[in-house]
Amino acid sequence: MPVLVMKFGGTSVATLDRIRRAAKRVGVEVAKGYDVIVIVSAMSGKTNELVGWVGETSPMYDAREYDAVVSSGENVTAGLMALTLQEMDVPARSWQGWQVPVQTTSSHSSARIEAIPTDNINGRFEQGMRVAVIAGFQGISPEGRITTLGRGGSDTTAVAFAAAFGAERCDIYTDVDGVYTTDPRICSKARKLDRIAFEEMLELASLGAKVLQTRSVELAMRNKVKLRVLSSFEEPSDSAGTLVCDEEEIMESNVVAGVAFSRDEAKMTLLSVADRPGIAASIFTALSEGGVNVDMIVQNISEEGRTDMTWSCPVDQVARAKKAIEKAGADKVINYHELKADTDVAKISVVGIGMRSHTGVAAKMFQVLSKEGINIQVITTSEIKISVLVDRKYMELAVQALHDAFELDKAA
């Protein structure tokens, strides 16, 4: 029988009533003739509660025990989902990550999936099981310890299972009804997309869109797994949600697919750095070793052997970045005059595969922002993306103005 993967996020399984609602959706797909693999998250709020308990018990906790505790939320949901399906006379069984086994690296709390053997579950399908309910977010290390995949890891689990089992599709059920041109809470004209290319979704996810975890989109693109994002609170239909697929499967699209934003950004500038070969490597090696995720980078024109270096990073990593740079300065790795941090900026991005074949997108974006009196501080581009840093107070205005200018409320 064909295989379908269905993933239910925390809000979709937050209560027993919601688990029953999700189970009914699974039952509909079983009736259509699918063998179904269901991936479940912990019930809404449960993971945060477990993380809090670990922190209260042991502030300097053992990462292996952290994973053992935090992964338990998904185990509870998987068992309850399997029981609910059994009450509906649907042959179902729950599986924890180690029982499949979902083989991962040993990086506790941020493990990566290396392999998912299919014989175990396929054997049970052949014996009459119709639904395998898998605890998402978790696996087992080569040492035999439970591992977790990091926040949003259940999305990655779902895509990995879809790839391993050659699933017809991977449906991601959330509390939103699809992927929008921007956040509807910021722009009332935001429009739900029927389809979006993998590359566009990957950029939007990495730039702040919360619908899908970035790693899950990367994995889907690499393995050509069709993803469908849809709400577990709306009536099911064949046209529901947004399909994330290959560019070739989209007949026609707007030049710009969406506007993304991130308010939790900081701009850091290293003033009067000695300008010499290898200085950029020294700076960003120090930041990398300090665990800082650098995004946008700008180097000013050299003047009398000195230059300024500017970069952006998450605002909660500013202290870490300062510590890394100060250490590099104390160790004589770099020589600079001053380090400045601006924690009151936001990143605004326009994304679209249509940029490859259309000119003038950057010019239009900059003209729109200029007309609204919004100063651009930093710019970075890729083949299908243009990002700028602006004062955070202008973030909503910038998003709305760009959404209107590129007419994203209208379909192609």
Closest to 321 measured CA to CA, from 278, 291, 342 = 291
Token code pair at residue 219: 């994995």
> Cα(183)–Cα(250) distance, rounded to whole angstroms?
22
Instruction: Report whether 45 contacts 11 (CB < 8 A).
Output: no
Sign of CA dihedral 75, 80, 85, 87: positive
> Cα(207)–Cα(387) distance, rounded to whole angstroms?
9
Using the structure block, give the residue that is written with the tokens 């619908």.
211
**Mean pLDDT, the chain, integer:** 92
> Cα(317)–Cα(324) distance, rounded to whole angstroms?
11
Instruction: Report whether 125 contacts 134 (CB < 8 A).
Output: no
Reported as type and span, the H/E element at residue 163 is: helix 153-165
Confidence of residue 412 (pLDDT cuts 50, 70, 90): low
Closest to 2 measured CA to CA, from 35, 49, 50, 25 = 35
Q: Which is more confidently placed, 218 or 357?
A: 218
Token code pair at residue 175: 């509390």
> Cα(56)–Cα(386) distance, rounded to whole angstroms?
43
Domain ranges of the chain: 3-175
pLDDT in tens, 201-259: 988 887 766 678 888 999 999 999 999 999 888 877 767 889 998 888 887 678 899 99
Q: What is the pTM of this model?
A: 0.83
- pLDDT at res. 211: 76
Instruction: Report whether 198 contacts 353 (CB < 8 A).
Output: no
Closest to 336 measured CA to CA, from 300, 371, 291 = 300
CATH class of the region 3-175: alpha beta
User: What is the percent of the chain with per-residue pLDDT over 70, rounded to a whole number?
Assistant: 98
Reported as type and span, the H/E element at residue 397 is: helix 395-405
What is the layout of strands, in order, in the sheet containing 169-174? 92-95, 131-135, 35-40, 3-8, 169-174, 227-231, 242-245, 195-197
pLDDT in tens, 176-186: 888 999 998 89
